[in-house]
Amino acid sequence: MSESKLLDGKAVANRVKEQLKERVEALKTQGVTPSLATILVGDDPSSETYVRMKGNACERIGIVSKKIHLPEETTTETLLETIEGLNRDDAVHGILLQHPVPSQIDERLAFETIAIEKDVDGVTSEGYGQTALGFGTYPSCTPAAIMKIMEDYDINPEGKHAVVVGRSPILGKPVGALLLNENATVTTCHSRTVNLATHVSQADIVVAAVGKPEFIKGEWIKEGAIVLDAGYNKGNIGDVEYETAKDKASAITPVPGGVGPVTIAMLLKHTVDAAEKSVTN
């Protein structure tokens, strides 16, 4: 079989961002500048890097990046007060709480405090429920990125068997719901699935979202399958054994440069969407 088509996430993300620049300029003519507030609790170096990347991406297309850095010893109550203040701030259109937070904080309660109209990262249970029911405004950004890549490359999931490996509330579960809403037949697997290789080998579409480096072996991939690797592990390694998988897949996302850049682009898109809604409401 010829080498698989590379699903270039950087190219998809650049197209999204170019369209967003025009929308941001249009909003500014109406006196509105889209604004994303990012909350970082503590001093985790990886989290600091992610927040900085998101802030830079915002600024490049004209979105205001409001950064709030709280100390490591912050209590749940203080964090909730911070979020509630941002909920009330009409100049803020999206709120992102960087995961993970220090262990003394009730992370789920903090996520649930984010107003649904500002939940641009798709972390509230209300947002998840809306996504599953098919009318969600802001699905979690990585699932949204996977769907956007498929759309841009004319990959129609309808009637296809999609196997999602991973069941996290902001990736595996919502991407399964999005695929199901697009008429795919969805099997959700995870690290404890018995005979995982058998399930993966039956997939027309494989979504890797388990968070373990090269957990999905290339030999498991069916000839001609489409592979979307949402994993990102140390050493720029995905959840799929890329070198062997690419020889069997008809299309595959690289790591890095695949799902990751589009995830950030979808966060920006959701923020602009929220700003536009604030004008019409």
Catalytic sites, residue numbers = 54, 98, 121
CA 250, distance to chain mean position in Å, is: 23
CB atoms within 10 A of CB 199: 18
* Cis peptide, bond prior to residue 256, ω within 30 of zero: yes
Closest alpha carbon to 244 in 275, 200, 209, 192: 200
CB atoms within 10 A of CB 132: 17
Q: Which one-letter amino acid corresponds to residue 33?
A: T
Cα separation, 163 vs 184, in Å, equals 10
Asked whether the CA dihedral 69, 72, 76, 77 is positive or negative, the reply is: negative
